[in-house]
Chains A and B, each alone.
Chain A
Amino acid sequence: MRITVRLFATLRTNRFKEDTREYPAGTTVAQVADDLKIFSGELALILVNGHTASFDQELNDNDILSLFPPVGGG
């Protein structure tokens, strides 16, 4: 299945801003993070299609996965 991964802030360093990749059916957020060498501790926000998702959530074809490190503002 095709997953579009969007990385933000410091997660982009040595990686990318947005990339669409092939993953096997049933791949979880954790497995994508592992593939990208991102530790769970580095993630503060996980969104799938703009909705909060868990680290163990399974992804579906054409999902957009957005990953953010700890950030804030006003």
Chain B
Amino acid sequence: MAYAGNILRINLTTGSITKEELPVDEAKAFIGGRGLGGKMLAAEIPAGTDPLGPENKIFFITGPLTATSAPTSGRYMVVTKSPLNNVIASSNSGGYWGAELKFAGYDMVIVEGKAKEPVYISIRDEQVEIHPASKLWGKQTSEVVDELIAEFGDPRARVLNIGPAGENLSPIAAVMNDRWRAAGRSGVGAVLGAKNLKAIIVRGSGKVQVAQPEKFKEVVSGVLKKIKENGVTGEGLPAYGTSILVNIINEHGMYPTNNFREGVFAGAEATSGETIAEKYLTKKDPCYRCPIACGRYCKVDDVEGGGPEYETVWAYGADCGVSDLPAIIKANKVCNEMGLDTISAGATIAAAMELFQCGYIKPEEVDGPELKWGSGEAIVEWTRKMGLGEGLGAKLAMGSASLCEAYGAPELSMTVKKLELPAYDPRGIMGHGLQYATANRGGCHVRGYMVSPEILGIPEPLDRFSIEGKAEWVKTYQDITAVIDSLGICLFTSFALGAQDYADLYNYATGENLSAEELLSCGDRIYNNERLFNLQEGYSASDDTLPKRMLAEPMPDGPSKGNVHPLDKMLPKYYVIRGWDGDGVPTTEKKEALGL
């Protein structure tokens, strides 16, 4: 129960469309979403598969709670082998598309092979078709969504698409859905581009059944109350959105400025959640069944649309030295239209700015606005050029790791495992820094959001500069996150809920009977499955690291001044806690305990 019980498998080479049964044993062990998608991907593609080749597969996968009456139940995952860095990409998105897929009667869609010409897929409950999409190829998100909905003939249909960036196979291309929601990280958009898949439009008329409706209703009621009464989910996020963090992180002196050169940004107030709410916010933009409504909808001049989020405001703002909020809002819009990851796009422009400053990129190569710190014009126009693969923009569209490598300055790329780091400098937050170094997909903040205890004091305050006990905390956060990512609800519920809440929701929905510890153990299993995949692809302990700037250059200013990140003191303990050997490889005992 709760699962639809069906997999839709589409092969674009042969044109075959088949329905399969959901593998029940695997679903029990790996839950759904990120976990189940990762397990199935690892089993179905051989080691060394080219992420952009026809042998790669891409899963659009919901969780057991998706489309139930649980709050925030609109989440789904895009799971595939990453064209950016060869790991299991599991890119999360909200909005409405995931719920609609479940209503149509499917837990997941698996797309294999490669179409000869651009195509799009339509799903109307049982009726699934592949259509030619040459007239859509080259078009940007809004135009694609408008045209597909008009053609489909139902305004309540939901569209998932790539923009020009995915078509151009940019390793930082996103999968967009519902116009401005993004499965942003890991270059998943490029996999659709490589398969000639432009979009998937879906409309579902079914409902999701839960195992114990009365008990489920009771738990949902309790969980909803906790979310509403919590200061973060009930007040802070609805009023100011995620960009409330701008001032918080800046006041702590860990707001990465000018490609992580400094930690305090003079333009923080001008680009904060408070200022957005005051000047440009026209409404909140909630996802399916979400009472938190952190999503923003802004208007400035003749530009309007969803966002910008904290990470976007940072990547296009402080990271590039830009305090021009209208320019940031416009850059966000262009980014969504082109189908790029806002973090990677903004951070790559920041890296390009430093390369230019240091003389690696020469003025004569710059066929666009000058790449100087603080240029609002640069962030908007270079995003456009990256999306279209135009001139120097084509080099930027490869992401900052490739860009800096190409200019002989790899140390200027603020990435871990080639994934651009997000908006928290590890020199100001030790547990979170350990998390950046060990997250399976690379430099990611959401895979174990240690900012919560180390900065926000939730569930309890930890000293951000201390390394004591941090390895245990990081593991717990990474495991519970893997669970939430697999259930099909939003990570932000974790500001208000605990492991037992998730266990109750899961058990009454599915009819299972897991304890909170057993559920966390699923998270551990999911985490280790991803780790094993990475090791098979050639990753090793030497990749569990941070950019040299964070390990060797003390923070020059502000409240986090003088610090470097002591990763070498933290990593060995983390490996022990994880049950891995000194080289970061899961031991035989560990694998057996998890059934891997």
**Dominant SS among interface residues on chain B:** helix
Assess the B231–A71 pair: CB atoms within 8 A: yes
Assess the B310–A73 pair: CB atoms within 8 A: yes
Q: A72: which B residues are within 8 A, CB to CB? A: 232-233, 236-237, 244-245, 452, 456, 458, 492, 495
Q: A12: which B residues are within 8 A, CB to CB? A: 274
Residues 232-254 of B contacting A (Cβ, < 8 Å): 232-233, 235-237, 239-245, 247-248, 251-253
Assess the A70–B232 pair: CB atoms within 8 A: yes
Assess the B274–A70 pair: CB atoms within 8 A: no
Q: A37: which B residues are within 8 A, CB to CB? A: none
Contact flag A73-B252 (CB < 8 Å), given A8-B274, A9-B274, A10-B235? no
Which residue, of B236, B252, B253, B457, has the highest number of chain A Cβ atoms within 10 A? Answer: B236
Q: A74: which B residues are within 8 A, CB to CB? A: 242, 245, 309-311, 445-446, 449, 491-492
Contact flag A52-B236 (CB < 8 Å), given A45-B456, A68-B248? no
Question: Is B305 an interface position by the 8 A CB rule?
Answer: no
Contact flag A6-B251 (CB < 8 Å), given A71-B231, A71-B232, A74-B492? yes
Nearest chain B CB to A10 CB, angstrom units: 7
Q: A68: which B residues are within 8 A, CB to CB? A: 247-248
Question: Is B273 an interface position by the 8 A CB rule?
Answer: yes
Picked from A52, A66, A70, A73, the residue with its CB within 8 Å of the CB of B245 is: A73
Assess the A47–B310 pair: CB atoms within 8 A: no
Q: B458: which A residues are within 8 A, CB to CB? A: 72
Residues 1-47 of A contacting B (Cβ, < 8 Å): 6, 8-10, 12, 17, 44-45, 47
Assess the B235–A47 pair: CB atoms within 8 A: no
Closest to B428 in A: A50
Q: A52: which B residues are within 8 A, CB to CB? A: 461, 463-464
Docked Cα-Cα span, A45 to B559, in Å, equals 15
14 contacts between A and B (CB under 8 A): A9-B274, A12-B274, A45-B456, A50-B559, A50-B560, A52-B461, A72-B232, A72-B236, A72-B245, A72-B495, A73-B237, A73-B242, A74-B446, A74-B491
Q: List 9 tightest A-B contacts by C-beta distance, closest first.
A: A50-B559, A70-B231, A71-B236, A73-B242, A72-B232, A73-B245, A71-B244, A66-B251, A73-B310
Instruction: Given contacts A8-B248, A9-B240, A72-B236, list 11 more A-B pairs with CB under 8 A.
Output: A8-B244, A10-B236, A69-B235, A71-B236, A71-B245, A72-B233, A72-B244, A72-B492, A74-B309, A74-B445, A74-B449
